Amino acid sequence: MKITVNENITLVPIDHSHKEALANYLNDINIYNNTLKIPYPYTLQNAEDWINTVVELEEIQGLTTNWAIYKNNNGLIGGLGLHQQHGAESHKDEIGYWLAKPYWNQGIMTEVLKFFCNYCFDQRELSRIEAGVFSHNEASMRVLEKAGFEREGYLKKCFIKNSRYIDSVLYAKVL
């Protein structure tokens, strides 16, 4: 299955062919500092383990939840996925995303999020998509706002990373 966002961007399900690109792009301290579960350094083994988990879960559920973002012939340049913390049949889900640093500030993630949310509203019959952002990640907040998400709240001490509390800003896009 492939989702065409525009003439330059497509989304394809995460699979084992993405292992090296994941290890290359996710081994970035900037991505680590702005995400909760991506380790640093990020190794080929981290990529292999995560892909195995994704593929197994998607086979059980019969539903693709994690996508590689492709730009033209550059291969994987980022990723996004739904967390399914409320179950596959829920009316709402949480989205997570990342983009490789060479592709920042080009409007790519904003366009991907707009398109993918509309896809989820239509194909997955979701009516609410949430995104939690570390309070220091202003760039991600701007991306969400440009993609039509609205700020709904500020969650104090929402996460713990490196033995420190991190506040989070809650965004949502509602159909």
What is the pLDDT tens value at each position of the chain, 175 positions in all?
A: 899 999 999 999 999 999 999 999 999 999 999 999 999 999 999 999 999 999 999 999 889 999 999 999 889 999 999 998 888 789 999 999 999 999 999 999 999 999 999 999 999 999 999 999 999 999 999 999 999 999 999 999 999 999 999 999 999 999 9
Dihedral angle, C-alpha 55, 61, 64, 67, nearest 10 °? -50
Tell me the residue type at 75: G
| CA dihedral sign, ordered 48, 13, 38, 160 | negative
Q: Which of 66, 83, 77 is nearest to 109 (CA)?
A: 77
| CA dihedral sign, ordered 149, 124, 15, 52 | positive
Decide if 129 contacts 84 (C-beta within 8 A): no
* SS3 call for 101: helix
Contacts of 57 (CB under 8 A, 6+ apart): 65
Q: Is the pTM of this model over 0.85?
A: yes
Q: Where are the alpha helices (DSSP H) in 70-152?
A: 108-123, 138-146
Determine the topology of domain 3-174 in CATH: Aminopeptidase (3.40.630)
